[in-house]
């Protein structure tokens, strides 16, 4: 190897400008907010070695292009452009994993978080015994700005619910504005659900031990540009996050919801069967109608609740309904077949349950439910 070649491949020393702090900002259609937010960060973090990673979920308004245009002249600004993936929590997780800084902050792009709090957060992590510093709306000096009573009440109720899964006392577990040490994040990252939009709550519920917290007050500001992302999907994601942390270690939350709707389907089946028989229909015809109604109700309930984040619409809705009919029909065959196998089977592991009708029936229901869930997840509600 020549001396010139050796010089070219010799590892370079770490640049003095390496970032001490990375600010991770998830974005979806926030183009108008990018430039003013960067101006505010530049002022607030003067004298700090910082960088910002915008994690964009394929915005349609040119947000990633705006970030990259600025980044061509400012190496502190980076864009992580995600295609085919959505979700605020997973965006934050991927943004943090894409950084190397010892301290990481998470905040929104809509200018509602007070960036002037960042230096105080960083100073606390540097010099005080704390693991996470949270920008809080619910400690003395904080506030929710001009929220109406309905939104304030909803936020307060969600905050109370979130304490069910928190491992430490915190006034504002629903905050989306916080800073933490990298080692704290890494101790929890493999247990994060990535569900929903409240990454701080996910972190607090996933850490192996209660973290040392500090909350700094700030006043929540009004959005200046763009549209709020709050909708019914946010409520669904929040509920799924709570459920995942409460029972997800026992059974997958989505399967539990699917099975619950399946149990309701049994009730629908029996009611329709009774009505059809009372109306003079023969048993076979009545059972056929009851089964069809139950499968239809299960499909639409699962589309609204279990798979709300992958909800089918338009022609995909009707194609999905047809595939659900086929899958559930095959699931019924699997149900009956496995129940019969358990009831009369000769395998040695069936010795304790052979010949017990209700156990055989339960076994069939479980197999049928798992079949319906697994196959419909792939074929009916497959991701785009």
CATH classification at residue 174: 3.90.550.10
> Would you say residue 97 lies in a domain?
yes
72 and 112 together in one domain: yes
Instruction: Give 241's contacts (C-beta < 8 A, 6+ positions apart).
Output: 89, 193, 195, 196, 198, 201, 202
34 and 106 together in one domain: yes
Q: What's the CA gap between 149 and 368, in Å, rounded? A: 46
Q: What's the CA gap between 75 and 79, in Å, rounded? A: 11
pTM: 0.68
48 and 174 together in one domain: yes
Residue 181 forms beta bridges with which residues? 103
171 and 263 together in one domain: no
> Would you say residue 240 lies in a domain?
no
CA dihedral 83, 84, 87, 89 (to 10 degrees): -60
Q: What backbone torsions phi and psi does residue 355 show, to the nearest 5 degrees?
A: 85, 5
210 and 324 together in one domain: no
**Both tokens of residue 107?**
């905040």
368 is in which domain, residue-wise?
Answer: 253-379
Max CA-CA distance within the chain? 96
Could you say which of 229, 245, 268 is where a domain stops? 229
206 and 267 together in one domain: no
Q: What backbone torsions phi and psi does residue 231 show, to the nearest 5 degrees?
A: -155, -170
> Would you say residue 315 lies in a domain?
yes
Total domains present in the chain: 2
User: Could you read off the pLDDT tens digit of each residue along the chain, which spans 384 residues?
Assistant: 444 444 443 444 444 468 999 999 999 899 999 999 999 999 999 999 999 999 999 999 999 999 999 999 999 999 999 987 777 888 999 999 999 999 999 999 989 899 999 999 999 999 999 999 999 988 888 887 665 566 556 655 666 666 666 767 888 887 889 999 999 999 999 888 777 667 888 888 888 888 999 999 999 887 776 565 554 555 666 666 666 666 656 667 778 788 888 888 888 877 887 888 888 877 677 777 887 888 899 899 888 888 877 788 889 999 999 998 898 888 777 666 666 665 565 544 454 555 455 565 556 667 777 788 888 888 888 765
258 and 174 together in one domain: no
Residue 136 forms beta bridges with which residues? 217
**Both tokens of residue 161?**
């619910």
> Would you say residue 7 lies in a domain?
no
211 and 285 together in one domain: no
189 and 279 together in one domain: no
57 and 170 together in one domain: yes
């Amino acid at each position: 190897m020549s001396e010139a070649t050796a010089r070219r491949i010799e590892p370079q020393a770490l640049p003095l400008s390496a970032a001490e702090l990375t600010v991770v900002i998830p974005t979806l259609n926030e183009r108008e907010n990018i430039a003013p937010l960067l101006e505010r960060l530049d002022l607030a973090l003067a004298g700090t070695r910082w960088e910002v990673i915008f994690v964009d979920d394929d915005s349609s308004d040119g947000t990633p292009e705006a970030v990259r245009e600025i980044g061509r002249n400012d190496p502190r600004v980076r864009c992580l452009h995600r295609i085919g993936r959505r979700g605020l929590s997973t965006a934050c997780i991927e943004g943090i994993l894409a950084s190397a800084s010892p301290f990481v902050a998470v905040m929104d792009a809509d200018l509602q978080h007070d960036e002037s709090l960042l230096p105080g957060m960083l100073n606390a992590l540097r010099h005080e015994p704390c693991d996470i510093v949270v920008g809080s709306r619910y400690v003395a000096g904080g506030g929710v700005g001009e929220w109406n009573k309905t939104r304030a009440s909803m936020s307060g109720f969600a905050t109370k619910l979130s304490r069910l899964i928190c491992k430490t006392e915190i006034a504002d577990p629903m905050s989306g504005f916080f800073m933490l040490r990298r080692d704290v994040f890494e101790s929890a990252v493999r247990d994060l659900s990535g569900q929903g939009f409240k990454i701080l709550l996910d972190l607090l519920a996933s850490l192996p031990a209660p973290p040392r917290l500090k909350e700094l007050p700030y006043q929540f500001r009004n959005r200046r540009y763009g549209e709020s992302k709050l909708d019914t999907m946010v409520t669904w994601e929040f509920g799924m996050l709570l459920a995942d942390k409460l029972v997800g270690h026992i059974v997958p939350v989505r399967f539990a919801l699917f099975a619950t709707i399946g149990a309701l389907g049994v009730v629908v089946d029996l009611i329709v069967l009774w009505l059809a028989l009372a109306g003079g229909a023969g048993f076979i015809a009545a059972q056929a109608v009851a089964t069809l109604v139950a499968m239809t109700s299960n499909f639409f309930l699962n589309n609204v609740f279990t798979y709300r984040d992958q909800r089918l619409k338009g022609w995909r809705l009707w194609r999905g309904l047809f595939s659900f009919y086929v899958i559930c029909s095959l699931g019924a065959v699997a149900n009956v077949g496995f129940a019969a196998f358990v009831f009369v089977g000769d395998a040695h592991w069936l010795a304790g349950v052979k010949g017990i009708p209700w156990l055989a029936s339960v076994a069939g229901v479980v197999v049928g439910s798992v079949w319906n869930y697994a196959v419909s997840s792939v074929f009916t509600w497959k991701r785009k």
